[in-house]
Amino acid sequence: MSSELVNKLIRAGIDKNEAVKEVSILKKEFSDPSKILELIEERTKTRKPLQYLLGKAFFMDFEVKVTPEVLIPRPETEILVEETIKRIQKLKAKSQQLKVLDIGTGSGIIPIALCRMMPNIEVIAIDINQSIIDLAYNNAKNNGVQERVKFKVCDLFLEDFEEIFKKNSFNLIISNPPYVTKSNFNKLDPEVRYHEPAIALVGSKSDNLVYYERILSLVSVNRKPGFKQLIAFEIDPPLKDGLKSILQKYNFDNYEFLKDYSGHQRCLFVYT
């Protein structure tokens, strides 16, 4: 039965490795073959991602609920979190409390992962609307870290966002902002193009660099002498040169780009 199901998915245009993985997930989740078949039918007809059909996804070693309003967690973001943890631990003694800002939290995976892995951090996490924030809060609650994360509705281009910077000194500012260009978005799989939120992938601006510039400009104006900060971004490889120009414009000279496992530039770490 498994190979028939895998073949159904492949015939619908789904990559072989992904098809094998999805059938194995479905078999673990459901013992009733008719339920599995029903989901495979829906999956092939609509190309809706399996995570949205199941209403959940995995990130690192934990589970979160996902709806089509939030991005499905990606393995690239696991690299961002793992590499950030390595770097932040060097920044301060383990015993000290660290303040973190997560910008564009989506399902809340970044603050949840950071809280699960580091006992000494507290996070402010923002996103653009209440239903995303409610989902992220519930995910934090289901993972036992809701006391350590303040979730807020906030648009990073509005004044409220500037207030967050004025009122807090963050040791770590982390973000996986919308970084897919409109032309690249049109080349992506139907799962992404038709079902994942465009605001999370492409954003609402004509140039994706503005997200990074907005954040770095606020870090720059709120910089305090002697206070060390780490800024950690997930990036799209073609943005590298534009990002270098922004770093130069705001006088950030201590930074590193990091590649993902496929050899693509994926993270930018800035040290103040």
Q: Does 126 help bind ligand SAM (rule: CB under 6 A)?
A: yes
Question: Could you say which of 30, 62, 137, 157 contacts ligand SAM (CB under 6 A)?
Answer: 157
Query: Within a 13 Å sphere around the CA of 19, how many CA atoms are in the beta-carbon half?
Result: 18
Q: How far is the CB of 132 from ligand SAM (least distance, A)?
A: 6
Question: Could you say which of 40, 43, 123, 178 contacts ligand SAM (CB under 6 A)?
Answer: 178
| Rounded CA separation 189/154 (Å) | 30
Comparing every residue's Cβ against ligand SAM, the nearest one is 104
Q: How far is the CB of 59 from ligand SAM (least distance, A)?
A: 8
AA letter at 74: R
Per the listing, tokens 């699960």 go with 116
Question: Could you say which of 6, 113, 200, 219 contacts ligand SAM (CB under 6 A)?
Answer: 200
Per-position DSSP letters for the chain, written without gaps between them: -HHHHHHHHHHTT--HHHHHHHHHHHHHH-S-HHHHHHHHHHHHHH---HHHHHTEEEETTEEEE--TTSPPP-HHHHHHHHHHHHHHHHHS-TTS-EEEEEES-TTSHHHHHHHHH-TTEEEEEEESSHHHHHHHHHHHHHTT-GGGEEEEE--TTSHHHHHHHHH---SEEEE------HHHHTTS-HIIIIIS-HHHHT-SSS-THHHHHHHHHHHHHT--TT---EEEEE--GGGHHHHHHHHHHTT---EEEEE-TTS-EEEEEEE-
Stretch that binds ligand SAM, among 36-44, 91-99, 123-131, 257-265 (CB under 6 A): 123-131
Q: Which is nearer to ligand SAM, 5 or 121 (CB)?
A: 121
Stretch that binds ligand SAM, among 15-23, 68-76, 114-122, 256-264 (CB under 6 A): 68-76
Q: How far is the CB of 117 from ligand SAM (least distance, A)?
A: 16
Question: Could you say which of 51, 146, 176, 208 contacts ligand SAM (CB under 6 A)?
Answer: 176
Q: Which is nearer to ligand SAM, 26 or 70 (CB)?
A: 70
Q: How far is the CB of 231 from ligand SAM (least distance, A)?
A: 15
Query: Of 82-121, which residues contact ligand SAM (CB under 6 A)?
Result: 104-107, 109-110
Q: Does 64 help bind ligand SAM (rule: CB under 6 A)?
A: no
Query: Of 232-271, which residues contact ligand SAM (CB under 6 A)?
Result: none
Please give the size of the binding site for ligand SAM, defined by CB under 6 A.
23
> Rule CB under 6 A: which residues touch ligand SAM?
70-71, 73, 77, 104-107, 109-110, 126-128, 132, 155-157, 176-178, 199-200, 203
